[in-house]
Amino acid sequence: QKEVEQNSGPLSVPEGAIASLNCTYSDRGSQSFFWYRQYSGKSPELIMSIYSNGDKEDGRFTAQLNKASQYVSLLIRDSQPSDSATYLCAVKPLRYSSASKIIFGSGTRLSIRP
Amino acid sequence: EAQVTQNPRYLITVTGKKLTVTCSQNMNHEYMSWYRQDPGLGLRQIYYSMNVEVTDKGDVPEGYKVSRKEKRNFPLILESPSPNQTSLYFCASSPQGQGLVKQFFGPGTRLTVL
């Protein structure tokens, strides 16, 4: 079992709709959770971080964390073609709480169709 | 401009020929890390460094070496490259105190080992 799992996609969403990306993790004690966006041929860039249960909103993006169920999700409202990218979920497992180390999922490819 | 630079951006080499990929950051970050990215496997950490002269293995360190003699530089060395090291490599840096809240990634180095 991978430590951080994501559906590879592609996830196709019509423009203007809500895109929902999911991620599960195996270490129940994980503390910190991140979503990175990676355009084709480019480097990852951080778009959201979340540390406690519930929702965190930033513009059109909402990160949701449920530690009991060990999943974290990213919602993108009013999806735009520019949102088409691969979204990487990253988790800081408990065993690395004193170290600067995070584990990345393999990413979900999102495609927004006009 | 705050950035992480990597050189070269593209490299084709042959098995066994030693190579170095350089990484430099101008943000005075304590933490630096190397990742490789392969299809379906996501970003996997090779080595990381918490500060000058402090380095540690990541998840896939075999076949790689690193050094951190200066705060800004963190070169990745492949003493005897093999075809299974063909990959896309990213260097990243982060301010230590932020617990990896935000990692800044370099543009990537695409390495092909024949």
Confidence of residue B77 (pLDDT cuts 50, 70, 90): very high
A54-76 burial code (b ≥16 CB/10 A, e <16): eeeeeeebbbbbebeebbbbbbb
Paired tokens of B16: 């066994």
CB pairs under 8 A between A and B: 51
CB contact under 8 A, B48 and A43: no
**A105 CB near a chain B CB, below 8 Å?**
yes
For residue B39, what is the nearest residue in chain A, using CA coordinates? A106
Q: Which residues of B touch A105 (CB under 8 A)?
A: 42
Tens of pLDDT, residue by residue over B13-55, are 999 999 999 999 999 999 999 999 998 888 999 999 988 999 9
Tens of pLDDT, residue by residue over A23-74, are 999 999 888 899 999 999 899 999 999 988 999 999 999 999 999 999 999 9
> How far apart (Å, rounded) are the C-alpha atoms in residues B69 and B79?
18
Select from B31, B35, B59 the Cβ nearest to the Cβ of A100: B31
**B98 CB near a chain A CB, below 8 Å?**
no
Mean confidence (pLDDT) of chain B: 93
Tens of pLDDT, residue by residue over A61-108, are 999 999 999 999 999 999 999 999 999 999 988 776 666 678 899 999
**Least confident stretch, B9-18, B71-80, B101-110:** B101-110
CB contact under 8 A, B100 and A100: yes
**B32 CB near a chain A CB, below 8 Å?**
no
Checking if the pLDDT of B3 tops 90, the result is yes
**Least confident stretch, B41-55, B74-88, B97-111:** B97-111
CB contact under 8 A, A104 and B44: yes
Instruction: Name the DSSP letter for residue A96.
Output: G
Checking if the pLDDT of B102 tops 90, the result is no
The strand pair at B19-25 and B4-7 is best described as: antiparallel
> How far apart (Å, rounded) are the C-alpha atoms in residues A105 and A88?
6
Q: Which residue has the tokens 């990597």?
A: B6
**B77 CB near a chain A CB, below 8 Å?**
no
Query: What pLDDT score does B2 carry?
Result: 83
